[in-house]
Structures are given as C-alpha cells and as structure tokens.
C-alpha cells in the first residue's frame, strides 16, 4: 500500500505513517513496526504530531486524534487499544429552545455593561417589523436575523453576541433577553 502521510515525534523516536488502505502505523526509530491501527474513516491524507497526540485528516473528511504517548504506544504493543469516541462539534455547543412568543423571553432591566451583550431594537418599516442594532460599534442600517415570533415594534432586546454575515446583516448568537 502507498504511504499518503507521515509524521515523527520529537527527535524521531517514533515515526507514524498513513497508507492507502486506511491504516496508520507506528514505527520505532530503528524501523521496527510497533503497531498498526485501522482509521475507521478512510486513508490518512494529512498527519501532524503534537504534544503526544497524532492528528490525522482522512479521505472521508474526518479529523481524528490518536493518543501517541509512551504509555499508549506500550499499551498498543501489548494489545490494549482504547475504544474510539465519536465527538461532534454540535454536541459541545449549548442549545436553546426556539422562542415562540414574546412572553416566553427572559427579561433584563438594565442595559448590559460594554462587552457583555448587544442591544437590538424592533422597528416598524412599512408592513414589516425589522430589527436593527442600537449598541455602538455595529452598522446601524444592517438588519438583524431575529425570530419573527418575538418581534414587536418598539421592543428592545439584549443578545449575547452578533456576527456579521455575507450580504450585510447580523446573526444573533447566544441567548435573547427582552430589555424592560
């Protein structure tokens, strides 16, 4: 099988290689094979060693981290391999229940200190209720993508953060609280 990627630990003590058959190998400095591991996600196209960890990106687009510490290599040589854990970014992010009515929104009574929230305001424009940023440091003419169910003309809200998007508008990030 062809070698697609390789990496070494500091000083070349261990050499790692990924082949075209979806396997990753660990060799000692003298060339002895210490272990062979199936990636479970295609061939390792890219490989980096950092702080006793081997990071690979595979042909199926997966990013994997392999424990390449001395203890893990010794354990693998004796046949002990840890169970793979599938970690998704979405699982690490907080989730928020959709806001369905203005009454379901938590309230705050004071404008947040700088850096601890952004104030937005709902305004009537023609037949639509639009949301724009009131806090300084943002483009006031840009619309804010905001839940329609809680838009009320004149209502002000505090959001955790805003991120600009292509097309000249903002997306809300984090919690939404009504300013009363």
Q: Which residue has the tokens 């000249």?
A: 168
Write down the pLDDT at residue 165.
Answer: 87
Q: Which domains does the chain have, with CATH numbers?
A: 3-91 (2.40.10.480), 102-179 (no CATH)
Interatomic CA distance for residues 45 and 52, integer angstroms: 19
Q: Are strands 169-179 and 143-145 parallel, antiparallel or unpaired?
A: parallel
Give the closest residue to 14 by CA, choosing from 5, 6, 22. Answer: 6
| Residues facing residue 46 across a β-bridge | 57
Secondary structure (DSSP) of 146-163: --GGG--TT-EEEEEEEE
Write down the pLDDT at residue 30.
Answer: 96
Can you give the pTM of this predicted structure? 0.50
Write down the pLDDT at residue 96.
Answer: 61
Q: Which residue has the tokens 């994997």?
A: 64
Write down the pLDDT at residue 60.
Answer: 86
Write down the pLDDT at residue 95.
Answer: 62
**Cα torsion angle, 150, 153, 158, 159, sign:** positive
Write down the pLDDT at residue 65.
Answer: 92
Write down the pLDDT at residue 87.
Answer: 72
Write down the pLDDT at residue 92.
Answer: 64
Write down the pLDDT at residue 166.
Answer: 87
pLDDT in tens, the chain (180 residues): 789 999 999 999 999 999 999 999 999 999 999 999 888 888 999 999 999 999 999 998 888 999 999 899 889 888 888 777 777 766 666 666 667 777 788 888 887 777 788 999 999 999 999 999 999 999 999 999 999 999 999 999 999 999 998 889 999 988 899 998
Give the closest residue to 25 by CA, choosing from 61, 68, 57. Answer: 68
């Amino acid at each position: 099988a062809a070698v697609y990627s390789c990496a070494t630990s500091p000083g070349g003590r261990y050499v790692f290689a990924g082949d075209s058959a979806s396997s990753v190998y660990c060799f000692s400095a003298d060339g002895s094979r210490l272990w062979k591991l199936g990636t479970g996600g295609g061939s390792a196209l890219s490989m980096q060693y950092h702080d006793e960890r081997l990071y690979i990106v595979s042909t199926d687009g997966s990013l994997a981290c392999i424990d390449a510490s001395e203890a893990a290599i010794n354990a693998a040589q004796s046949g002990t391999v840890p169970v793979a854990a599938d970690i998704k970014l979405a699982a690490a992010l907080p989730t928020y229940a959709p806001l369905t009515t203005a009454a379901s929104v938590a309230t705050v009574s004071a404008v947040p200190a700088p850096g601890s929230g952004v104030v937005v305001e709902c305004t009537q424009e023609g037949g639509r209720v639009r949301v724009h940023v009131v806090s300084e440091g943002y483009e006031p003419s840009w619309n804010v993508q905001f839940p329609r169910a809680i838009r009320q003309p004149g209502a002000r809200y505090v959001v955790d953060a805003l991120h600009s998007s292509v097309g000249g508008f903002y997306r809300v990030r984090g919690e939404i609280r009504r300013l009363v």
